[in-house]
């Protein structure tokens, strides 16, 4: 369902990615590990259409996204891809429900609120839907961001250090949640992490070193 071929990326003459090839199947949970500066987040951003490679191509569900126009790429990003970041990036003036609904509102989904309520219930936040981020714990805020990532039923979710800003208990709960969602909803996850426990739980662990996948 996702394929990357010969992905190359440089910044200021520095080669960050040096020909990355990978394939990810539906319902697979894949972790990406490596030292700081190895190119993990750069690769994740390219796979998720947040950045464009200098060479190579990315295909999601038979759509070669790396060659799309910005408008068409934005549509694919909204409908096919979910994102979870280290920092929750929630709008402080919006409730948990409103934050979770945002991608669906952009899509024009008239059932956004009911879908968001369903997801927040699955994520254990049924009694927190009208709370604003300042009224939620860090773990609860991250679960709201998970609901936001899933609201449009994306083909794949990219997570960049998703538990890096959480305490150990909240991190453990989030890690378990990814696999519960895969099992319940058939979700596919690609997770960049420094957390070796999480990386080891994945179906596959890919290691990047010096801009290439070494294992």
For 30-67, write each residue's pLDDT tens digit. Answer: 999 988 888 888 999 999 888 889 999 999 888 888 78
Tokens of 208: 């990047």
Tokens 């997570």 locate to 159
| pLDDT for the residue 127 | 92
Check pLDDT > 80 for residue 88: no
Could you tell me the two tokens for 13?
Answer: 């003459």
Instruction: Give the pLDDT mean for 111-131.
Output: 91
Place of tokens 């030292």: 35
Residue 134: the pLDDT is 94
- Choose from 29-33, 106-110, 195-199 the range with maximum mean pLDDT: 29-33
pLDDT at 153: 86
- The Cα angle at residue 168 between residues 99 and 120, in degrees rounded to 5: 25
Q: How confident is the model at residue 131 (pLDDT cuts 50, 70, 90)?
A: very high
Does the structure show a pLDDT above 80 at 87? no
Contact 65, 3 (CB under 8 A): no
> How far is CA 63 from each of CA 11, 49, 213, rounded to the nearest angstrom?
26, 12, 23
Q: Give percent of the chain above pLDDT 90.
A: 40
Chain centroid, CA 31 distance in Å: 11
Rounded Cα gap, residues 205 and 88, in angstroms? 24
> Taking all residues of the chain, what is their mean pLDDT, rounded to a whole number?
88
Q: List, in sequence order, every beta strand (DSSP E) within 44-183.
A: 55-60, 63-64, 81-85, 156-160
3-state SS, residue 121? helix
Residues 6 or more apart in contact with residue 2 via CB below 8 angstroms:
22, 23, 24, 47, 58, 59, 60, 155, 156, 188, 190
- The SS3 of residue 49 is coil
Q: Is the pLDDT of residue 215 over 80?
A: no
What CATH number has the domain spanning 26-53+68-213?
3.40.50.300
According to the model, what pLDDT value does residue 97 have? 96
pLDDT at residue 16 greater than cutoff 80: yes
Confidence (pLDDT) at 164: 74
User: Measured between alpha carbons, how far is 73 from 85 in angstroms, rounded to an integer?
Assistant: 20
In the three-class reduction of DSSP (H, G, I as helix; E, B as strand; rest coil), residue 6 is classed as strand
At 141-176, the pLDDT tens digits run: 988 998 999 898 888 999 988 877 777 887 888 788
Lowest-confidence range among 109-123, 160-174, 196-210?
A: 160-174
**pLDDT band (50, 70, 90) for residue 99:** very high
Q: What percent of the chain has pLDDT over 70?
A: 100
Q: In the 8-state DSSP scheme, what is residue 126?
A: G
Please tell me the predicted confidence (pLDDT) of residue 93. 95
């Amino acid at each position: 369902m996702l394929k990357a071929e010969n992905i190359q990326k440089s910044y200021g003459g520095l080669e960050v990615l040096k020909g990355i090839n990978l394939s990810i199947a539906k319902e697979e949970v894949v972790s990406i590990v490596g030292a700081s500066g190895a190119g993990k987040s750069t690769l994740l951003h390219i796979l998720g259409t947040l950045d464009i490679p200098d060479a190579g191509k990315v295909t999601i569900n038979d759509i070669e996204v790396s060659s799309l126009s910005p408008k068409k790429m934005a549509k694919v990003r909204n409908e096919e891809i979910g994102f979870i970041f280290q920092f929750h990036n929630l709008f402080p003036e919006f409730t948990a429900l409103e934050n979770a609904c945002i991608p669906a509102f952009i899509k024009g989904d008239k059932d956004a609120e009911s879908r968001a309520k369903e997801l927040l219930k699955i994520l254990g936040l049924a009694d927190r839907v009208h709370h604003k981020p300042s009224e939620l714990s860090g773990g609860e805020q991250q679960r709201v961001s998970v609901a936001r990532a899933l609201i449009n039923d994306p083909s794949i979710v990219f997570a960049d250090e998703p538990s890096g800003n959480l305490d150990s208990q909240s991190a453990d709960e989030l890690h378990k949640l990814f696999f519960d969602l895969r099992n319940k909803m058939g979700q596919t996850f690609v997770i960049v992490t420094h957390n070796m426990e999480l990386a080891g739980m994945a179906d596959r662990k890919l290691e990047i070193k010096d801009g290439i996948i070494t294992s």
